[in-house]
Amino acid sequence: MDLLNRSFSHIYIEKEAKQYIESQKILKRFPNSKVIEIDSYKEIFSKNNQNFTLQKTTPKLILAVKKENYIYEGAKVCESFGNENFYYSSSVLNCVYDCEYCYLQGVYSSGNVVIFVNLEDMFQEIERILKERSMYICISYDTDLMALEEITGFVKRWYDFVKKHGNLKIELRTKSSSIKVFSDLEPNPNFIVAWTISPKEFAKQFEKRAVPFEKRVESAKILIEAGWTVRICFDPMIKVEDFYNVYGEMIDETFKEIDGTKILDVSIGTFRISKEYMKRMKKNRVNSLILNYPFHCQEGVYTYSEAENQEMLDFVKEKILNYVDLEKIFI
pLDDT category at 3 given cuts 50, 70, 90 is: very low
Taking alpha carbons only, the member of 22, 19, 88 closest to residue 61 is: 22
Note if the bond before 189 is cis, omega within 30 degrees: no
Segment 27-44 mean pLDDT: 96
> For residues 194 and 187, what is the distance between their CA atoms, to the nearest angstrom?
14
Buried b (16+ CB within 10 A) or exposed e, 266-297: bbbbbbbbbeebbebbeebbeeeebbeeebee
Q: Is 68 left (phi over 0), alpha (psi -120 to 50) or beta?
A: beta
Mean pLDDT of the chain: 93
- Decide: 9 and 58 in contact? Cβ < 8 Å: yes
Reported as a pLDDT band with limits 50, 70 and 90, residue 190 is very high
Rounded CA gap, 277 and 147, in Å? Answer: 24
**Average pLDDT of 305-313?**
97
DSSP SS3 for 185:
coil
**pTM for this one?**
0.94
Contacts of 272 (CB under 8 A, 6+ apart): 77, 236, 301, 302, 303
Question: Taking 80 as the threshold, does the pLDDT of residue 133 lie above it?
Answer: yes
CB 191 within 8 A of CB 208: no
Question: Are the CB atoms for 125 and 145 separated by under 8 Å?
Answer: no
pLDDT higher at 79 or 111 = 111
Residue ranges of domains in the chain, CATH in brackets: 66-330 (3.80.30.30)
Contact at 8 Å (CB) between 185 and 223?
no
- Report whether 202 contacts 246 (CB < 8 A): yes
Q: Would you state the pLDDT for residue 6? A: 74
Average pLDDT over residues 237-241: 96
Q: What is the pLDDT of residues 21-34, one digit of tens each?
A: 999 999 999 999 99
Q: What is the pLDDT of residues 64-98, one digit of tens each?
A: 999 988 998 866 555 557 777 889 999 999 999 99
How high is the pLDDT of residue 74? 65
Q: What is the reported pLDDT for 2? A: 41
Is the pLDDT reported for residue 253 higher than 90?
yes
52 vs 233, residue with greater confidence = 233
pLDDT reported for residue 206: 96
Q: Contact, 253 vs 217, CB < 8 A?
A: yes
Tell me the C-alpha distance between 173 and 190, whole Å. 14
